[in-house]
Structure 1
Amino acid sequence: MKKLEILVLSVLSAAFLLAGCSGNDSPFSEKSYDADAAEIEEVVIDVRDREIVVSLSEDDQIHITYFENEKEYYDISVSDGEVLTMTAQSNKKWTDYIGSNSAADFRKIALQIPDSLLSKLTLTTTNEDIALSPVTVTGDVSLSANGGNIAFDQINVGNSLTLTGKNGNISGTVIGSYDEFSIFAEIKKGESTLPTDKSGGSKVLNVKNNNGDIDIQFIRN
């Protein structure tokens, strides 16, 4: 019996010790990044555990607002090909992953883009949502969320819209008629408003979702 009590106390002590070492004690600070939209053709955001919210820019420039600290931060760069890329970086120790996540306010990325100036937009995240206000991209839009919802309102694309989800719903409205799009939809463990395969459109809508619904409607110009 004493051995069992000692074992239980040892486990509890270890748990409290790890709890004391876990978490993210480093304070977050709000940061911003601005870019001249005339010099950017494409925006790519590839992060983990971050909500991404996209809205229109009021000054025809690109703005990104985010939070970071010494353990969770981002690499933002612009390539010679006029691609603005934002990727998540981390120097967390294994004990930092024990306990609760960072506060929700600090896990949000706000992207503002001008209408009809970008040729491509690619957003990828995990365990959080992606949300887009009405926006026009002259080429391709690709949105991917593993463990969160994808929601958009009146998205307008010049070439293609690719949506990939898992353990979340995909919903929104697309500018254009139903006949304007070739549609490819694949769904597992959910319901869909789209056909699995429809050809003949000048644009492409490609949607895949696992363990979630697909609800996409078309709005004529």
Structure 2
Amino acid sequence: MKKTITILVSFMSLILGSVLLAGCTNNSENFTERDYHASNKAVTSVKLDVRDRQIKVVPSVDQQIHIAYSESDQEYYKIAVSAQHTLTMTSASNKKWTDYIGLKTAAKSRKIVLQVPNKLLTTLKITTNNSNLKLAPLTVKRNISLSTQNGNLTFDKLNAGKAIKLQAKNGNITGSVLGSYDDYAITTTIKKGNSNLPANKKGGVKKLIVANNNGNIDVELVKK
């Protein structure tokens, strides 16, 4: 009986060791820096839906859309522009479950920098997890929607013609929205955290919808 148990333990140790080795080996994959440029496409909306990536949104230096990112043979992105002029960027992977065991992808390869022209986009929607989402001052014509999980959401002087939607889980929502208190109908949902916004404030021509679970909400309304 003891001999059988010993053989079984040795066998399981061998399997576990092989799995860990495979995970560590695959995490040493080579990432290549890339820059997507949408100057020749009529883009009115941008939608990013990625995983495990830190995202930074900054003003475009030439009024065109640029995306700086890194990808490998196993972790890459699908980027396309639809007939409706929406640029989408989504995570793609051909990894096996064993490839996720071991060290994470290097921090420098888990960053995305999005440059967008101020005041020209109709909508902007960004979703990420396990990292932070940060935006410089930005104005869009209709809607802004931002979501992060296991990371912080920070921004400065966000402005949208119709609605701003902010969502986080296991992180803080901190920043400023352009406009006065009377400009917005505000809806706030908070769990396991503190908020400086009212739960429900009616009136206003624009909507501000903020939700957080296990984190704080600190959003200021500021004038230009």
- Kept after mapping to 1: 8 A contact 2:27/2:102: no
- Kept after mapping to 2: 8 A contact 1:36/1:62: yes
Gaps of 5+ in 2: none
Q: What is aligned with 1:164?
A: 167
- Structure 1 segments, 4+ long, off by >6 Å, are none
RMSD: 1.5
Instruction: Report the identity percentage.
Output: 47
Q: What is aligned with 2:74?
A: 71
Q: What is aligned with 2:149?
A: 146
TM-score, normalization: structure 2? Answer: 0.94
2:20 match: secondary structure: helix
Deviations 1:120-158, CA, capped at 9 Å, x for gaps: 000001111110011111110000111111110111211
1:131 aligns with 2:134: yes
Distance 1:127 1:24 in 2: 17
Q: Which amino acid aligns with 1:76?
A: I
Q: Which amino acid aligns with 1:109?
A: I
1:86 CA drift (Å): 0.4
1:10 aligns with 2:11: yes
Gaps of 5+ in 1: none
- Kept after mapping to 2: 8 A contact 1:52/1:131: yes
How many residues matched? 221
Q: Which amino acid aligns with 1:62?
A: I
Q: Which one of 176, 183, 187 corresponds to residue 186 of structure 2? A: 183
Q: Which amino acid aligns with 1:100?
A: L
TM-score, normalization: structure 1? Answer: 0.95
Deviates more, 1:33-42 or 1:85-94: 33-42
2:10 match: secondary structure: helix
Q: What is aligned with 1:85?
A: 88
Per the alignment, do residues 37 and 184 of structure 1 end up closer, same or farther by CA in structure 2, a change over 3 Å counting? Answer: farther
Q: What is aligned with 1:53?
A: 56
Distance 2:181 2:6 in 1: 68
- Kept after mapping to 1: 8 A contact 2:67/2:115: yes
Per the alignment, do residues 42 and 3 of structure 1 end up closer, same or farther by CA in structure 2, a change over 3 Å counting? Answer: same
1:211 aligns with 2:180: no
1:40 aligns with 2:15: no
1:13 CA drift (Å): 2.4
